[in-house]
Amino acid sequence: MPFIAVGTVVSSVGLFLLWSSEPLWVYMLVYVPINVASAVSSVPYNGLIADVTPPEQNGRMSAVLGAANLAGYLVGTATGIFVQSLTETEVYAIMAAISLVFTVPTLVAVREPQHHFATSDARPPLAWGEFLSAMVRPLVVHRDFRLVFVSRMLFQLGIATMQQFLQYWIADCVATDMTPTRAVSVGLIPNLLLAPLAAMLIPSHDRKIVVYAAAALMIATCVLVMATSQFGWVLAVSGLFGSGFGPFLSVEFAMLMDVLPSASDAARDMGLWHMALVLPQIVATPVAGWILDASQQFGNARGMQCFGYQVVYGMCMAYFLAGVAVTVRIRGIK
């Protein structure tokens, strides 16, 4: 609970230091602790969910958690539609208020299990080598945990690439009278309306079937994105992507719970699993950005408009297919 509280407060307060008029290095200097604080709150929050959820309800809890995440994205999208009429302070205030207000019920109403530790005098000194080794050992020793980690990382590479280049694709390749920021926010509405509904409909078992169906829908989305240039189709594509994204987001936590190496070290292993979300967000944009620039220049020289985006979304398809190939090999999920 203390980590959830401190991480939420620090990340919320830090938002107000992200002034666009500051040099880039100042922005980066503030952005790093905000992300660290976010991880400090979210990792123990996942551990808390594991502590208070009965094992037979892991599938349902994963669906509810995924739907809640998507509802948050929907609120963010709604804010994005009106972002040009808001000041930076008002945008940051909305973000901070939502974060703080929705954290309070967890801190007040949830009682985490009490763990009995030895007294400080009885604790041996921390052996840093063993500590760091234990952090990554589950990936080496536990096959199914490693495969779930890799599967999530591959899917998140595809999801992050699609989402982070959506605004540029609309600006460069889609016919619309709206600004790219507003067009992206409007375009995401079908996604974020259908995704929570689809997330709540996933079965309690058959996790792999859900992953396969979600991957098929997201791959179909990539194919349509590569073929369309009309904003009306963007709305249809967005809804299709949400129908796959929602169930995947909801089933991935249940998959983790099925293969956790040790219930006593759940928080540690969840922190490691969380890296499968963080790393793609760091890597996806620069890799796809470099490929987009190179392939777009190649396409423009040969009269192939938006060729670079077709290559990038082709990469997303490859990520999703690779994620499916890894998921097939997982044995320990229901």
By CB atoms closer than 10 A (0-12, 13-18, 19+), residue 291 is middle
pLDDT greater at residue 53 or residue 293:
293
Residue 216: pLDDT above 90? yes
Residue 207: pLDDT above 80? yes
**pLDDT tens digits, 271-307:** 778 788 878 888 888 899 999 999 999 998 888 888 9
User: Minimal CA–CA distance to 258: which of 201, 204, 198?
Assistant: 204
pLDDT band at 92 (very low <50, low <70, confident <90, very high): confident
The pLDDT score that the predictor gives to residue 321 is 96
The pLDDT score that the predictor gives to residue 82 is 72
**pLDDT tens digits, 20-50:** 667 778 888 888 888 888 888 887 887 788 7
The pLDDT score that the predictor gives to residue 219 is 94
Q: Indicate the pTM of the whole model.
A: 0.75
pLDDT band at 217 (very low <50, low <70, confident <90, very high): very high
What percent of the chain has a predicted confidence (pLDDT) above 90? 21
- In the chain, the domains with their CATH numbers are 2-110+142-328 (1.20.1250.20)
Residue 209: pLDDT above 70? yes
pLDDT greater at residue 211 or residue 65:
211
Using alpha carbons, list the distances in angstroms from residue 289 to 141, 251, 301, 308, 321.
Answer: 35, 29, 18, 10, 21
pLDDT band at 322 (very low <50, low <70, confident <90, very high): very high
pLDDT greater at residue 59 or residue 189:
189
User: Minimal CA–CA distance to 73: which of 165, 166, 168, 196?
Assistant: 196
Q: What is the mean pLDDT of residues 101-122?
A: 74
The pLDDT score that the predictor gives to residue 124 is 66
Q: What is the mean pLDDT of residues 261-276?
A: 75
Q: Which residues contact 272 (CB under 8 A, 6 or more apart)?
A: 135, 136, 138, 139, 149
Mean residue pLDDT of the chain comes to 82
**pLDDT tens digits, 124-160:** 676 777 767 777 788 888 899 899 999 999 999 999 8
**Rounded to the nearest 5°, which phi and psi values hold at 204?**
-70, -25
Please answer whether residues 160 and 218 qualify as being in contact, where contact means their C-beta atoms are separated by less than 8 angstroms: no
pLDDT band at 8 (very low <50, low <70, confident <90, very high): very high
Among 234-238, 261-265, 308-312, name the most confident range: 308-312
Q: What is the mean pLDDT of residues 194-219?
A: 82
The pLDDT score that the predictor gives to residue 87 is 81
Please state, in angstroms and rounded to a whole number, the distance separating the CA atoms of residues 334 and 332. 7
Q: What is the mean pLDDT of residues 113-120?
A: 57
* Placement of tokens 């067009």 in the chain: 183
